[in-house]
A = this chain, B = another copy of it.
Amino acid sequence: MIESPNHSENKRFWKRKKEVRPQEILKAATELFVEQGFSATKVAMVAKKAGVQPGTIYVYYENKEALFKAVIHAAMDPVLQYSNDFLKQYTGSSKNLLFELTHQWWKLMESEACAGIPKLVTAESKNFPDLTRFYMDQVLVHAKRIVEGVLEYGIQKNDFFVENLDISARIMMHSLHEITVYAHSFDSLADEKLDIELYLDQLASFFYKSLSNPHPVDRPLKGPEIQALNTEENHQ
């Protein structure tokens, strides 16, 4: 079922007609998929939440899988449209740019449309490889480029000192990605919620401290203390 090869002709099936009905279905589906995952979300639940009958969903979407893909694509629209042009016109401080990066990422990802999507894609990555690839190619690479742009901005202004641009960008991008996943998987169940704004500030600050530190760091030679860490030998 999953990943059947005969979808070549509907590559853009998620560009659904702009009527109200499919929007409601998409909205309902997004919420349910994000909350419960693909398999656990039943088409009947989506229909009920959207205020339509199950059959109606199949008027707009070929099947549940197509609906799922449409949900992801629709949710990623805002992100895909988020251009990195702004970097070309940005003239502020490198430090401030980091704070903007973290807070804007959060604002973007937690906008009503795509909140929870990163977690959802993460969860279903193995079952929807093509969707995952789309997500990686479009969203993650896009995000990484923006981070790279930020780093280059700081490097150019001699504010940032980066040994390995690719991996540094990945580290930062992953940190940003992680927080959105965490928020939807764990924080909602935590006894005391994370203060996101504070977290984002600290994250930017953490980034800045690292990037503005001009001293290169090499891994020390491995010493005998490594064994101290490895206590696995006494596990069954």
Contact surface of A with B, Cβ cutoff 8 Å: 1-2, 35-40, 77-78, 81-83, 85-86, 89-93, 95-96, 99-100, 104, 107-108, 111, 113, 119, 121-127, 129, 132-133, 136, 140, 163-164, 167-168, 170-171, 174-175, 177-179, 181-182, 184-186, 189-190, 194, 198-199, 201-213, 215, 217-220, 223, 225-226, 228-232, 234-236
Q: Is the CB of A133 within 8 A of B225?
A: no
For A18, give the chain B residue with the smallest CB separation: B236
Q: How many copies does the complex hold?
A: 4
Of B77, B210, B220, which contacts A93 at CB under 8 A? B220
Say which residue of B82, B90, B175, B213 sits within 8 Å of A212 (CB atoms).
B213
Whether B217 pairs with A209 at a CB distance below 8 angstroms is: yes
A217 & B95 in contact (Cβ 8 Å cutoff): yes
Contact partners of A174 in chain B: CB under 8 A: 175, 178-179, 182
Interface of A is mostly: helix
Cβ contact within 8 Å between B96 and A229: no
Cβ contact within 8 Å between B123 and A81: no
